[in-house]
């Protein structure tokens, strides 16, 4: 039959093998290419940060994330503040590492690339964390705000993007999804390391935590989930935009429009980091948490669009391949750009990526 979306002649199935458009049934609106059961513009954390997961594995990652947050909050309520801070710092980076191991995305470069990206984030985060402590007390209120709300976020964005940029020239990692994964991984490990650097110097200096338990709960939620997710969205999207423009085998390098312009994307990531810093400096912690959560949700939608457009534009021009079993829905489908049974992009499937990645 002819697909109404891409006008190609494709097998009569639930989804178009070429573009992933739903061909049958009541569903006419297309879902997120890396998780076709979800709609594109909904800020789901797990399917956005971990797009290679088959949909049935996403549940266990959601449980891990929520369970981890419960532990972090419980530690704060029990007044075990140093432990709560450490747990908040490592939660999202740890789940990210588990994801990378679980899906084995870079099977021919086993973990080396991701280890590099994560190590870059950790070292960069520790250095920026130490720098934050070192320059925080200097100057009057005005210059201190300038440093904390503009200079440090700018350094942070530059450091977080720096790791992925080292990998940009490698032909091997040529998907938008690669760029987005490197960006998000560097961002979450960076965010965690900054928290650790600050926490250690805070507590080794004999800091005795005062204040309401409620404020601590808001603080650990801010540091444990809102900030890492926001940074992952901002840096993952900016890196994805860079990959689409300079690296990906995309049909249309300008498919993201203005948001895909690398200068605009990096400026937007920087603006997000500056607004986040201002929110944290100027507003009460609960208000700040709510606003950061809204920003983080917006950054997740941005990253989803970048990934979705990337997967669509990188779809190959080749015809259908041999029959295979989809790693997402486990039903037989011809090897193509999209599974004809569940609509998942085969570029977003773990392993067995058609066409190879080299
Ligand atoms: Zn189509
Ligand atoms: Zn499938």
Ligand nearest to the CA of residue 333, numbered in listed order: 2
Expressed in angstroms and rounded, the spacing between residue 94 Cα and the centre of ligand 2 is 28
Q: In tens digits, what is the pLDDT along the chain, a chain of 358 residues?
A: 899 888 889 999 999 999 999 998 766 778 999 999 999 999 999 999 999 998 888 999 999 999 999 999 999 999 888 899 999 999 999 999 889 888 776 666 657 888 899 999 999 999 999 888 887 665 567 788 888 899 999 999 999 999 999 999 988 888 898 899 999 999 999 999 999 998 877 777 666 666 788 899 999 999 999 999 999 999 999 999 999 999 877 778 888 888 889 999 999 999 999 999 999 999 999 999 999 999 999 999 999 999 999 998 888 777 788 899 998 999 999 999 999 999 999 888 875 444 433 3
Is 5 exposed, middle or buried (CB count within 10 Å of its CB: 0-12, 13-18, 19+)? middle
Read off φ and ψ for residue 334, nearest 5 degrees: -65, 145
Structure tokens at 43: 């800020």
CA 124–ligand 2 middle distance (angstroms): 39
Query: 10 CA distance to ligand 1 centroid (A)?
Result: 7
How many angstroms is it from 6 CA to the middle of ligand 2? 19
d(CA 17, CA 14): 9
- From CA 356, how far away is CA 353, in angstroms rounded? 6
- State how far the alpha carbon of 312 is from the alpha carbons of 22, 150, 308, in Å: 14, 36, 6
The alpha carbon of 326 and the centre of ligand 1 are apart by a number of angstroms equal to 18
pLDDT given at position 55: 85
Q: How far is the CA of 61 from the centre of ligand 2 (A)?
A: 20
Query: What SS3 string covers 112-142?
Result: HHHHHHHHHHHHHHHHHHHHHHHHCCCCCHH
- CA–CA distance, 57 with 54 (Å, rounded to integer): 6
Q: Answer whether 148's CB lies under 8 Å from 138's CB.
A: no
* Ligand located closest to 332 CA: 2
- The number of the ligand nearest the C-alpha atom of 337 reads 1
pLDDT value at position 207?
A: 62
Q: Residue 22, SS3? A: strand
**For the purposes of burial, counting CB atoms within 10 Å of the CB of 169, is it exposed (0-12), middle (13-18) or buried (19 or more)?**
exposed
Closest listed residue to residue 329, CA positions, set 315, 314, 313, 348: 348
Query: Residues whose CB is under 5 A from ligand 1 (ion)?
Result: 3, 5-6, 16, 18-19, 21
Ligand lying closest to the C-alpha of residue 10: 1
From residue 291, give the alpha-carbon distance in Å to each of 145, 217, 297: 19, 16, 10
Gap from CA of 22 to ligand 1 centroid (Å): 8
Rounded to the nearest angstrom, the distance between the alpha carbon of 355 and the centre of ligand 1 is 19
CA distance 291 to 285: 10
**CA gap 183, 75 in Å, rounded:** 30
- Domain parsing of the chain, residue ranges: 1-32+318-358, 55-313
In the chain, what is the straight-line distance between the N-terminal and C-terminal CA atoms, in Å? 32
């Amino acid at each position: 039959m002819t697909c109404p979306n891409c006008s190609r002649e494709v097998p009569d199935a639930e989804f178009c093998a070429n573009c992933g458009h739903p061909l049958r049934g009541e569903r006419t609106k297309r879902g997120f290419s890396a998780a076709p059961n979800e709609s594109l513009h909904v800020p789901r954390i797990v399917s956005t940060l971990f797009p290679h997961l088959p949909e049935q594995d996403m549940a266990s990652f959601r449980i891990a994330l929520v369970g981890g947050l419960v532990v972090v909050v419980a530690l704060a309520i029990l007044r075990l503040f140093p432990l709560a801070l450490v747990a908040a710092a490592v939660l999202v980076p740890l789940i990210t590492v588990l994801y990378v191991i679980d899906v084995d995305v870079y099977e021919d470069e086993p973990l080396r690339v991701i280890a590099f990206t994560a190590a870059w984030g950790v070292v960069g985060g520790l250095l920026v964390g130490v720098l934050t402590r070192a320059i925080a007390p200097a100057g009057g209120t005005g210059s201190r705000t300038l440093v904390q709300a503009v200079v440090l976020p700018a350094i942070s964005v530059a450091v977080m993007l720096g790791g992925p940029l080292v990998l940009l020239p490698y032909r091997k990692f040529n998907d938008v999804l690669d760029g987005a994964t490197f960006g998000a991984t560097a961002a979450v490990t960076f965010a965690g390391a900054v928290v650790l650097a600050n926490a250690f110097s805070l507590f080794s200096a004999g800091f005795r935590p005062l204040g309401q338990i409620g404020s601590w709960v808001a603080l650990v939620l801010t540091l444990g989930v809102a900030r890492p997710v926001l940074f992952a969205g901002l840096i993952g999207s900016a890196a994805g935009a860079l990959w689409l423009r300079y690296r990906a085998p995309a049909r249309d390098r300008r498919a993201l429009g203005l948001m895909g312009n690398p200068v605009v994307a990096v400026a937007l990531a920087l603006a997000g980091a500056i607004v986040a810093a201002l929110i944290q400096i100027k507003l009460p912690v609960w208000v700040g948490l709510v606003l950061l959560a809204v920003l983080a949700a917006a950054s997740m939608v941005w990253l989803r669009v970048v990934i979705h457009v990337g997967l669509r534009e990188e779809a190959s021009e080749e015809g259908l391949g041999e029959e295979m079993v989809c790693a997402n829905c486990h039903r037989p489908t011809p090897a193509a750009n999209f599974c004809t049974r569940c609509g998942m992009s085969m570029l977003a499937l773990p392993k067995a990526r058609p066409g190879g990645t080299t």
